[in-house]
Amino acid sequence: MARVWSFTKYQLRDYRTAVLVFYLVLAAMIALTLGISGRMEGHASLSGGSFIFVFVIGLNCFKTSFRFAQANNLSRRVFYLATLLSLVGLAVIMGAVDVILDAVMDRLPIYLGLFDQIYGKSTVAKGLWTTASLIFASSLGWMITMIYYRSNTVWKVIVSLSPVAAISVLSLLDRLSGGKAVSSTLSFLTWAFGFAGETPNPFQAVLTFLAGSAIIWAINILLLYRAPVKN
């Protein structure tokens, strides 16, 4: 529908200022670090930065925008699709920029990006991996903000405590199973991010990120169902 595209445009326009600031700060940081030490310590700060950044974008993509969608009588379906597309679009753009930045930085002899450190050199894999991770991060932020939106005070407390609760449950299970719970979780994660075999496989991680995103998107449909407009 035309309205989906229009709202996608709106969401992207909404992210624009933050994205520009992000890259300006990034450029400043790079210039500063290069200027001071003449070398980059590692790529960790750069890609980690994008990950956290889009996560925060996800956290902010809902409340004000949903009200605006309602002001224009857009259905929740239109809002959902447009927001999803905008987050994916943002991830694709930032993923591409990340890859380009990496390629530029690679010219400097002392630099080796985080991705290359782990998975070895491959532009395609790097692009896909970064984009998929950004899609996952932003979707996660979106889901969390929606969970909070739909929760009343009691549920908000429960949700806020859930990470702690999950860890406690895991360690309890671990003790009961004689160490099997944690080790099986770890081996699952290892496999999911492509470290199971001889050489690390980035495409496995891409699949994991996308699968995780798909699950989140399904949950978000439930969260958006009959969502009321709140103050």
Taking CB under 8 A as the rule, which mask of x and - marks residues 127-146 in contact with other proteins? --------------------
Taking CB under 8 A as the rule, which mask of x and - marks residues 57-96 in contact with other proteins? -------xx-xx-xxxxxxxxx------------------
The Cα 55–Cα 60 span in angstroms is 9
CB closer to other proteins out of 152 and 199: 152
Question: Is residue 205 within 8 Å of 132, Cβ to Cβ?
Answer: yes
CB closer to other proteins out of 67 and 121: 67
Q: Which amino acid is at 59?
A: L
Question: Is residue 137 within 8 Å of 51, Cβ to Cβ?
Answer: yes
Q: Which amino acid is at 96?
A: A
Task: Name the minimum Å distance from CB 2 to other proteins.
Answer: 8
CB closer to other proteins out of 2 and 154: 2
The Cα 201–Cα 135 span in angstroms is 19
The yes or no reply on residue 1 touching other proteins (CB under 8 A) is: yes
Task: Name the minimum Å distance from CB 155 to other proteins.
Answer: 16
Task: Name the minimum Å distance from CB 13 to other proteins.
Answer: 9
Q: Which amino acid is at 117?
A: Q
Report the SS3 class of residue 229: coil
Question: Is residue 120 within 8 Å of 199, Cβ to Cβ?
Answer: yes
Q: By rule CB under 8 A, what count of residues binds other proteins? A: 24
Reference 57, options 2, 12, 103, 102; nearest CA is 12
Q: Footprint of other proteins on residues 2-31 (CB under 8 A)?
A: 2-3, 6-7, 9-10
CB closer to other proteins out of 63 and 156: 63
The yes or no reply on residue 175 touching other proteins (CB under 8 A) is: no
The yes or no reply on residue 155 touching other proteins (CB under 8 A) is: no
CA distances in angstroms from 167 to 76, 136, 173, 188, listed in the order given = 34, 21, 10, 16
Binding residues vs other proteins (CB under 8 A): 1-3, 6-7, 9-10, 64-65, 67-68, 70-78, 226, 228-229, 231
